[in-house]
């Protein structure tokens, strides 16, 4: 059994993922301007900031849906991306990293042509090569944990947004990732459906999952975020523990928090 809950209190010497000097541009638009981040085992990192600040790109770079132009993602002793001068680690292939990093998207991105159950079994069967019976049992068990066992025969388009996002969480979790990435998981939801998704994420956090969450839900951030990162204009302006929400050092951070609370 690999990842899930951490046994120890996180120590600062045990990073699961490290982002080192990440730069990313889209054409002339310089979106990330040298971002460094350490993600410790069992830690819940919340990334927040105004739209266009690069937080989604940061998350997408973490599982290499975007390739960094400079810098690298370090994961399980391997380095992905062009890297930094001097220090070179063994290179890995994006697929290796993605198999161990789960991602939940703002728009859910469930596979509409597959039933709820098949959405969750797809990765197990085609990536991990697990046989159908076993994959279906694991998938159904995971769906049960997010409260959707009764929907296994349904299709994504027949579900509410909140249910869809919970299926998406189950789809990522069933792969037993070492880290879960959440890219504004509640932003596309009707207000009354936000709660059920946050509840599933809270349970996951309590179980000790390592998480990086990009969110506008400041209540959730204050409750779950062990380490909070405020981004603006492609750089990390300020980072720290819970105190960031009450005693931010930077003016920009204070202003943003005041504006969204």
Partner 1 sequence: MTLAQTSISFDFIWDNMGIFLDGVRLTIFISIVAFTLATIGGLGVALMRMSKSRIVRTLIAAYINVFRAIPLLVFILFVYYGIAISFELQVSAIQAGILALTLQYSAWLGEIFRGGIQAVSHGQREAALSLGMSRFQAFLRVVLPQAFRIAIPPTGNMFIGMIKDSSLVYLIGVPELLRVSNRLANRTFRYFEVYLATVLIYLILTTSIYFLVKYLEQRYALIDVLTAKTRRFSLFGRRRAARLRDLQEKVQEHVVAAPLEMEMHEEFEEDEPEGQAGTPSARRAPD
List of residues contacting partner 1 (CB under 8 A): 1, 4-5, 7-8, 63, 65, 94-95, 98-103, 105, 107, 109-113, 115, 117, 122-123, 126-127, 134, 136-138, 140-141, 144, 149-155, 157-158, 168, 171-172, 175, 207-208
Q: Closest CB to partner 1 among 45 and 175? A: 175
Give least dist CB 131 to partner 1, A.
11
Report the nearest approach of partner 1 to the CB of residue 207 (Å): 7
Q: Are 165 and 115 in contact (CB under 8 A)?
A: no
Calculate helix-pair angle for 132-145, 116-126, nearest 10 degrees: 130
Based on CB atoms, which residue is closest to partner 1, 3 or 21? Answer: 3
Cβ at position 88, least distance to partner 1 in Å: 25
Give the separation between CA 215 and CA 189, rounded to whole angstroms: 13
208, 237, 217: which is closest to 44 by C-alpha?
A: 208
C-beta of 16 vs 248, nearer to partner 1? 16
**Identity of the residue, 137 or 260, whose beta carbon is nearer to partner 1 in the bound complex:** 137
């Amino acid at each position: 059994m690999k990842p899930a809950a951490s046994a120890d209190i996180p120590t600062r010497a045990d990073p699961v993922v490290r982002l080192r000097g990440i730069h990313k541009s889209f054409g002339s638009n310089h979106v990330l301007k040298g971002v460094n981040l350490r993600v410790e085992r069992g830690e819940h990192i919340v990334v927040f900031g105004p739209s266009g600040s690069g937080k989604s790109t940061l998350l997408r770079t973490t599982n290499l849906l975007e390739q960094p132009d400079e810098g690298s993602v370090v994961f399980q002793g391997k380095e992905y991306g062009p890297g930094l001068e001097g220090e070179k680690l063994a290179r890995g292939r994006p697929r290796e990293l993605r198999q161990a990093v789960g991602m939940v998207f703002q728009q859910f991105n469930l596979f509409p042509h597959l039933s709820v159950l098949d959405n969750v079994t797809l990765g197990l069967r085609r990536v991990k090569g697990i046989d159908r019976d076993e994959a279906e049992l694991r998938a159904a068990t995971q769906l049960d944990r997010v409260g959707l066992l009764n929907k296994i025969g349904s299709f994504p388009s027949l579900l509410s947004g909140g249910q869809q996002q919970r299926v998406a969480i189950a789809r990522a979790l069933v792969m037993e990732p070492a880290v879960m990435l959440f890219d504004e998981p509640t932003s596309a939801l009707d207000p009354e459906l936000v709660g059920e998704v946050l509840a599933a994420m809270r349970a996951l956090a309590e179980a000790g999952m390592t998480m990086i969450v990009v969110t506008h839900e400041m209540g959730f951030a204050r409750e779950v975020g062990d380490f909070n990162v405020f981004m603006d204009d492609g750089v990390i302006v300020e980072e720290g523990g819970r105190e960031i929400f009450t005693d931010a050092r930077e003016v920009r951070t204070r202003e943003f928090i005041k504006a969204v609370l």
